[in-house]
Amino acid sequence: MKLLLLDKDGTLTIPHSGKAFPEEAWDQSPILGVKEAIGRYRAKGFMPIIISNQGGVERGYKSLEECKAEMRYAMLLFPEIKEAFFCPNFAGSDCWRIWGKGSDYEILYNADSWTVQQLDIINQFRKPYPGMLKLACDVHGADEAIFVGDRKEDEQAASAAGIDFLWADDWVKS
């Protein structure tokens, strides 16, 4: 399995409102060229997955449920993306994996999760730590992965996970 791991804010979407980050699920617009770039990588056999820090939950800008809705809305904007992993806290202790529609299609990973213990990624979900990337690769049995992002912590997370990294601007043009 080949994975195309994608940061969300600033890589896939920008807020309609012009604010730094979306405050509502619908406050997201696709960045120009992203849909085409996803299509090119899908044609090469890559499965696209969102990997996102969501510190706005801990800061109180949005609730956990609003954050889940934001991830699901991003997947509606990009129908080829069927899954998202996100970390809602600064400690990096929690990672939510969501897919499909509704709460029947979500899992919380944390220090109590057997997989997290086996991968030795306790409290390593928030980028620049590699936990979300390693977890996504493990869940899907990835033999190849690329992480695309727009921030230094994205590059650092990829490096720590031993995954190739592409800057978002370069990826859109590739």
* 2-35 pLDDT per residue, tens: 999 999 999 999 998 888 788 788 889 999 999 9
Alpha-carbon distance of 166 to 120, in angstroms, equals 25
Q: Which domain holds residue 133?
A: 2-173
Segment 147-162 mean pLDDT: 99
Q: Give pLDDT, residue 17.
A: 87
Phi-psi region of 82 (alpha: psi -120 to 50; beta: other; left: phi over 0): alpha
Please enumerate in sequence order all residues whose Cβ is within 8 A of that of 68, keeping only pairs 6 or more positions apart, or say none: 96, 98, 106
Which range among 23-32, 118-127, 136-145 shows the weakest confidence by mean pLDDT? 23-32
Return the DSSP state at 123. Answer: T
Instruction: List C-alpha distances in Å: 108 to 87, 112, 142.
Output: 10, 10, 20
Q: What CATH number is attached to the domain comprising 158?
A: 3.40.50.1000
Count of the separate structural domains present in the chain:
1
Q: Give pLDDT, residue 100.
A: 82
Alpha-carbon distance of 31 to 47, in angstroms, equals 19
